[in-house]
Amino acid sequence: MAMKTDDSNPLQMLAIAIVLASLVLSASVYFSADLLSRTIEQKPFTVSLPPMNIQPVLNITTLGGAAPSYPSAAPVQAPSAAPGCGVQAPSAPSGCGAVAPGGSGTGGTVKAAVNVSGLPPKGSAKARVTVVIFSDYLCPFCKRAESTNAQLLSQYDGKINLVHMNLVIHGQPAHVMAEAAECAGAQGKFWEMHDAIFADQKSDAASLKAKAAAIAGIDTAKFNTCLDSGAMASRVDAQNAAAGAIGAGGTPTFVIGVRNGDMVNGQMVVGAQDIGVFQQAVNTALNS
């Protein structure tokens, strides 16, 4: 018996082949697109920026969440009655070596009267004109002024004398130095101790006692007792108050004028000025 042949078989095979080819193509496109997508996602993304000055900001907190506190800078202190070097009081010339505004440091336009009772003079006790020196033993400008004072005393020999008043602006060390000079003064050796202290400006008690021991005529035991007990502290404080009373707010400050009894009335000169400034003030007093 003869078998019947199906004429549609080649067409079916072609259709199947086309379908399979389409499926393969679709799969290839899908996998290619997926691979491209993954590649793009993995590629680093960079942006070029123009040069900039960027300051990092760091916010530091403590474990408790509060910002840590650091010591703040020392506040600027307002001028007071007895300011330190370079500070000016509003009502008076002041500062260690400062020149007062308004010309009082150069022409002696400020007048003052000072009671100098009990202060030992350097130079002729009978001199008509007295130079009152408000000074601090640790002030560098005061030390500089010492040479000017010596020149004046030599130039106006017999016509002027010097007296020293303490104006302590450098704290307790300078106060002790002033007390040491006054303790020596109680034995008639003020100026010797004054000069010795200014020679090196050492403020420790051992150095001060050694200076006193080197001065002929000083009873060392009495001096040491005087210094250790603070017996002259009130005398130094009284001189500080006298300086404040005339508006002397810094060192060195000078009052140069004619002495009448215990009072010196004259011109105020502020700072370690050129000697010409002092000569002018002295001449004015001598000619008054």
CATH number at residue 224: 3.40.30.10
The pLDDT assigned to 23 comes to 66
Of residues 226 and 96, more confidence is placed in 226
Is 3 a domain residue? no
The pLDDT assigned to 192 comes to 98
Q: Which residue has the tokens 């202060």?
A: 119
Is 54 a domain residue? no
pLDDT-wise least confident of 42-51, 168-177, 208-217: 42-51
Burial class (CB in 10 A: 0-12, 13-18, 19+), 50: exposed
Q: Which residue has the tokens 């560098």?
A: 140
Is 187 a domain residue? yes
Q: Beta-carbon neighbour count of residue 99 at 10 Å?
A: 18
At 249, the pLDDT band (50, 70, 90 cuts) reads confident
Is 258 a domain residue? yes
**Whether the predicted pLDDT of 94 surpasses 90:** no
Of residues 81 and 259, more confidence is placed in 259
The pLDDT assigned to 47 comes to 39
- Residue-wise over 230-243: b if at least 16 C-beta within 10 A, else e? eebeebbeebbebb
C-alpha pair distances (Å), 114 with each of 35, 239, 244, 265? 103, 10, 11, 7
C-alpha pair distances (Å), 127 with each of 50, 114, 157, 288? 82, 16, 9, 14
Of residues 278 and 58, more confidence is placed in 278
At 280, the pLDDT band (50, 70, 90 cuts) reads very high
**Whether the predicted pLDDT of 78 surpasses 50:** no
Nearest to 23 by CA among 31, 13, 34, 33: 31
At 256, the pLDDT band (50, 70, 90 cuts) reads very high
pLDDT-wise least confident of 94-98, 145-149, 208-212: 94-98
The pLDDT assigned to 248 comes to 94
The pLDDT assigned to 25 comes to 64
Q: How many whole angstroms separate alpha carbon 256 and alpha carbon 161?
A: 10
pLDDT mean over 161-165:
98
Is 84 a domain residue? no
At 103, the pLDDT band (50, 70, 90 cuts) reads very low
pLDDT-wise least confident of 105-109, 181-185, 216-220: 105-109
CB distance 134 to 168 below 8 Å:
no
pLDDT-wise least confident of 60-69, 116-125, 130-139, 154-163: 60-69
pLDDT averaged over the chain? 77
The pLDDT assigned to 14 comes to 73
Is omega for the bond preceding 252 within 30 degrees of 0, making it cis? Answer: yes
The pLDDT assigned to 34 comes to 52
**Whether the predicted pLDDT of 131 surpasses 60:** yes
The pLDDT assigned to 20 comes to 72
CB distance 105 to 277 below 8 Å:
yes
Containing structural domain, residue 183: 101-286
Is 193 a domain residue? yes
**Whether the predicted pLDDT of 272 surpasses 90:** yes
The pLDDT assigned to 1 comes to 44
pLDDT mean over 238-255:
95
CB distance 208 to 180 below 8 Å:
yes
Is 39 a domain residue? no
Is 235 a domain residue? yes
Domain count across the chain:
1
The pLDDT assigned to 246 comes to 95
**Whether the predicted pLDDT of 65 surpasses 70:** no
Q: What is the pTM of this model?
A: 0.65
